[in-house]
Every structure is written in structure tokens, then in C-alpha cells.
Structure 1
């Protein structure tokens, strides 16, 4: 099994698209990239710890590749918005592909360049590619949010994410 970490706004909205894919055994909501060990949601929301909300994906690379995960990631985010995603604003919601090694970095960089060259977006692709930092699972109430709170999850999706995805990725 391998692990991948992606940040793309509120972690609630980043779980379901990965969780439903064959070869993915677990998707955990959490925090990464900050200066405090084991931060709480309130600490991260204060924008004083430097953490980003993210998901850690445990997957079987013989069933789904890292490149496929990156492609799923692009289709969940607005890669032209550096300081938040949809209704979620601020540094803790910025879009980041966290890489564990040079091979993952090369895949992410090539995929980003391909997306930039595709003409799908008129603004620059600003999603960053950064070296993975320690990942801290979020509190239990944030895990599997789309399953435990489908009504509230649906409201979060309707904060612009669903419409954006439909408009940009309908093909």
C-alpha cells in the first residue's frame, strides 16, 4: 500500500471523490504543512499554525496509479485559485499536491504542465507541488463527513464546487 496527500479546500469535499475509487482503501481528513504537532480544527481555523486541510489516501498502486490519483485531484479543485477553494477562503484551504518522492514530483509536475497547456483554464494553474510534511488526522467528527452528514455535505458542495466541476470537467 502507498499513501498520497492532497489539499483542495475543505477536506470534507475531498474525501468522497477518492473514497469511491477502486484500489483506495482509506481516505483520512487531516492537517499538514504547519508548525504545531497534532493541531486541532480550531487551531488550524485560526490561521496561526500554517496547516492546510488535506486528505491522506491509502491506495494499492497495482490497482490505481499515483498519476490517476493526480487526475482525480484536478477534477475536484479550482487550480487557478491559490488562496482557497470555492466558499472556503484562506491559507488553510489552498490547493496543494504533496509529494513523497522525486517520482511523484515528476508525475505531478508533468500533469500540471499538461493541464496548463490544455487551454481548459484561461488563468494560470497556481496549485503548488510541495514535499509532504507530517500528516495529522482531524478529529473524528470530520472523518467520513459525506457519509455521516449527507445533507450538510451537499450544502458544502453547492458552495460552488459542484457547479465549477460540471462546467470545467463535463467531458
Structure 2
């Protein structure tokens, strides 16, 4: 009888422990937040922010337009109103949204209203798609960027709306080994990404604009 009671007590303790563990995991998952930004080529923005401690995932996609489930060709064609955007999922216990916004401004040219670097057109413009709780932080980060540069920052703070992930071809482009044919010849996606980023002048421009404050230049 004692042995049976002890076994029952141990089983109950185990169930309680597993319940607390599951609750803790759920609680942690519920604490994750998202920030959606547009900074020109979404391959580059995704690659930059996935290096940040506390960022759990960065997904390339489209935001800001009116076309549902747009294709890459439609967006770059300029008829959807969408920007190339990246949705960043992060743990606010590890990195605050204010830090991510500051890093974002210093990873782009927020004075350029016509696109970013070698990529021109509406879909390559910069923007922040802020949730209601992020608007004040986004506006403050924009004001600080403008004060630091001494130039007009044209990056708008827009209301967050539906984010449409791009197809799998564009996800994690910067670290894929599959071979694609480029103007540089056949290369793995990872090497093609590096060649594109260098040829587009992204890091050189950001470094010239922000100096040592640029968090990702050269990455």
C-alpha cells in the first residue's frame, strides 16, 4: 500500500512538473513579437537581422500593398503597391524593438526616396510597418536617425497590415548552396548573394553614410 501511494505521489509530481514545463514553453512562445520593415532587397535585410541575438527568424516577403498573395514578379513590376519587406520575429527579453529599429535605420539609406542602392523603384523603398504599440518607438527612431544624419529621413512609418511571405526560393537565399545562373556566372545562392551585395554597393553606401554606427556593413 505504501509503495503504491509513493508511486502515485511520484506520478502526480511528474505530471505537475511536465505541466509547468509546457506552460513555461507556451508562455515563452507568447512573448515573441514581430517587426516588419522594408529596406530594399529583402535578401539583405533578412541576412542582416538573422545575425542579431534575440532574433528568432526573419522572413522575406511583401507588405504595404493591395494585392493579396502577390508574386515576386508582380511586386517588382510595380503594380501591387507592395514593398519588399522582412518580418522579424524576436524575443523582447533579449533584444528590444527600439534596438532593432535603430539598427534598421543604420543598415539602409533612409534619405533615398527612389529605392535602395542599385535597386530602384517603389518596391525597393524603405518603410517601417508598425503595430500600434510600435508607432512611438518607430517615430522616435526616425527622429533620432534624422538628427544623427543632419538630413531629411524619408522612410515612412506606416500602419502594419498583412504580410505575405515570398516563395521558398527567396527564403534564406544568402546561405543556400543550390546553384543559380547569374551575370557573374553559375554560383551557389550564397556566393551569388555576396556578389550581388558587393556589386550593388549596399555596404559601401551604408558605411559612407553611417560610418562606425552601421551595424551590418561588410556582413
* 8 Å Cα contact 2:39-2:85 kept in structure 1: yes
Q: Determine if the alignment matches structure 1 residue 85 to structure 2 residue 113.
A: no
Tell me the CA shift for residue 170 of structure 1.
2.8
What does residue 164 of structure 1 align with? 205
Which protein is bigger by CA-based radius of gyration?
2
What does residue 131 of structure 2 align with? 100
1:31-70 → structure 2 map (5 Å cutoff)? 31-70=62-101
What does residue 116 of structure 1 align with? 146
Output the CA distance in 2 between the equivalents of 1:91 and 1:114: 25
Output the CA distance in 1 between the equivalents of 2:72 and 2:111: 26
Post-superposition CA distance 1:86-107 (Å, at most 9, x none): 0111110110011011x31111
Post-superposition CA distance 1:60-87 (Å, at most 9, x none): 0111000011011012110000120001
SS in 2 for 1:170: helix
Q: Which has the higher helix share?
A: 2
CA RMSD of aligned residues (A): 1.1
Which of 149, 155, 165 aligns to 2:195? It is: 155
Post-superposition CA distance 1:33-59 (Å, at most 9, x none): 111111111111211111110000111
Gaps of 5+ in 1: none
What does residue 137 of structure 1 align with? 165
Tell me the CA shift for residue 15 of structure 1.
0.8
Output the CA distance in 2 between the equivalents of 1:164 and 1:124: 17
Output the CA distance in 2 between the equivalents of 1:75 and 1:116: 11
SS in 1 for 2:123: helix
The TM-score with structure 1 as length reference comes to 0.94
Tell me the CA shift for residue 156 of structure 1.
2.3
Tell me the CA shift for residue 169 of structure 1.
2.8
Tell me the CA shift for residue 166 of structure 1.
1.9
Output the CA distance in 2 between the equivalents of 1:9 and 1:156: 13
Gaps of 5+ in 2: 1-31, 177-188, 213-219
Output the CA distance in 2 between the equivalents of 1:155 and 1:98: 29
Q: Which runs of structure 1 show a deviation greater than 6 angstroms over 4 or more consecutive aligned residues? A: none
